[in-house]
Chains A and B, each alone.
Chain A
Amino acid sequence: MAMVDVRNVTKVYRKDAEELVVLNGLSLQVNEGDYAALMGPSGSGKSTLLNLIAGIDKPTSGDVVVAGTNVAQLGETQLAAFRSHNVGFIFQFYNLIPVLSATENVELPLLLTHLSKAQRRERALTALKVVGLADRASHYPRQLSGGQEQRVAIARAIVTDPKVLVADEPTGDLDAKSATEILDLLGTLNQEFKKTIVMVTHDPRAAERAKTQHHLEKGVLKD
Chain B
Amino acid sequence: MKYLPYLLKHLRRNWFRTTLTVLAMALCIFLFCTLQSVLAQINALLDSTSAKRLVVRNSVSIVFDVPLAYGARIQSVPGVERVAISNWFGGSLPAKKEGKGDAGTDSSTTDWSNFFNNLAVEMEPFLAMYPEYQLPPDQYRALMADQRGCVIGRKLANKFGWKIGDTFFLESFIPVHRKPDGPFEFVVRAIFDVDPVKYSGTDQNMMLFHQKYLYEATGRTLQAGTYYVEIRDPDQAGQVSAAIDKLFENSDHQTRTETEKAFAAGFIAMAGNLALLLNGIGIAVAFTILLVVANTMSIAVRERRKEIGVLKTLGFTSGQVMGLVVAESLLIGLIGGALGIAGSRTIMFLLTHAPGLKDMLAGIGLSELPLRPMVAAIGFGVAIVLGFAAGFVPALSAYRARITDMLRTV
Q: Which residues of A contact B (CB under 8 A)?
A: 51, 54, 56-57, 76-77, 80-85, 89, 91, 95, 97-100, 104, 108-109, 111-112, 117, 156
Contact = CB atoms under 8 A, between A and B. Distances in A.
Interface of B: 2-3, 5-6, 9-10, 12-13, 306-307, 309-320, 402-404, 407
B307 A83 contact: no
A99 B317 contact: no
A149 B403 CA distance: 22
9 contacts: A56-B404, A76-B317, A84-B316, A95-B309, A97-B307, A98-B13, A108-B311, A117-B2, A156-B314
B314 A108 contact: yes
Given A56-B407, A76-B318, A111-B3, 16 more contacts: A51-B404, A57-B403, A80-B312, A80-B316, A83-B315, A89-B313, A91-B310, A91-B407, A95-B309, A97-B310, A98-B13, A99-B12, A100-B6, A100-B9, A112-B316, A112-B320
Nearest to A156: B314
B256 to A, nearest CB: 67
A109 B310 CA distance: 10
Contacts of B313: 54, 56, 83, 89
A99 B316 contact: no
A82 B315 CA distance: 7
A145 B273 CA distance: 65
Contacts of B319: 77
Contacts of B9: 99-100, 104
B24 to A, nearest CB: 22
A217 B392 CA distance: 43
Contacts of B13: 98-99
Nearest to A97: B307
Contact of A81 (B5, B315, B404): B315
A117 B5 CA distance: 11
A213 B402 CA distance: 29
A112 B404 contact: no
B310 A95 contact: yes
Contacts of A112: 314-316, 320
A76 B403 CA distance: 11
B314 A109 contact: yes
Given A76-B318, A80-B317, A99-B13, A111 B6 contact: yes
